């Protein structure tokens, strides 16, 4: 699955402005999605690692975030585009192993609702990620389509 983003585009990602608590929460969202079905596959680990890399998290920060746990209170990303990026990363983890488990889907729906998206918007993101995974489409094309809706 492609869903990669050009590393030179990091400055326009919300993660460049995110607090350490926001980054830690994003990491936990990705892990929660990946483990939603009771196992974390190599493909899901890879998708989480890619997202962490795009966030600019070092291996130490990832380990520290997992040890410290989910922050109790965080401000979500401030713009719709920033929230779509996070939801897209979570959906990419969900489809990384080419299977969508109902428990993983439940986590995505909860995450999306907590980010302020309607169920229809969340379903659109999931549909776009599945389509992109099947076509090995570039992440930028998916983002552009999602932002134009």
Map out the domains of the chain as residue ranges. 13-147
pLDDT tens digits, residue range 88-119?
889 889 888 888 888 988 999 999 998 999 99
Q: How many angstroms separate the Cα of 24 from the Cα of each of 10, 62, 64, 73, 77? A: 18, 8, 9, 11, 13
CATH fit for domain 13-147, picks 1.10.3680.10, 3.10.310.30, 2.60.40.10, 3.60.15.10? 1.10.3680.10
Query: Exposed (0-12), middle (13-18) or buried (19+): which is 138, by Cβ within 10 Å?
Result: middle
pLDDT tens digits, residue range 61-93?
888 888 888 777 778 888 888 888 889 889 889
């Amino acid at each position: 699955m492609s869903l990669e983003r050009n590393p030179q585009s990091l400055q326009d990602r919300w993660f460049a402005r995110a607090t350490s608590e926001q980054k830690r929460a994003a990491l936990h969202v990705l892990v929660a999605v990946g483990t939603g079905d009771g196992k974390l596959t190599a493909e899901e680990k890879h998708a989480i690692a890619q997202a962490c890399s795009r966030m600019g998290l070092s291996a130490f920060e990832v380990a520290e975030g997992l040890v410290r746990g989910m922050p109790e209170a965080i401000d979500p990303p401030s713009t719709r585009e920033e929230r779509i990026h996070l939801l897209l990363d979570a959906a990419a983890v969900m489809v990384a192993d080419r299977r969508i488990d109902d428990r993983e889907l439940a986590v995505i729906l909860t995450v999306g609702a907590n980010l302020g998206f309607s169920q229809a918007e969340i379903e659109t993101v999931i549909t776009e990620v599945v389509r992109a995974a099947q076509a090995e489409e570039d992440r930028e094309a998916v983002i552009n389509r999602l932002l134009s809706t």
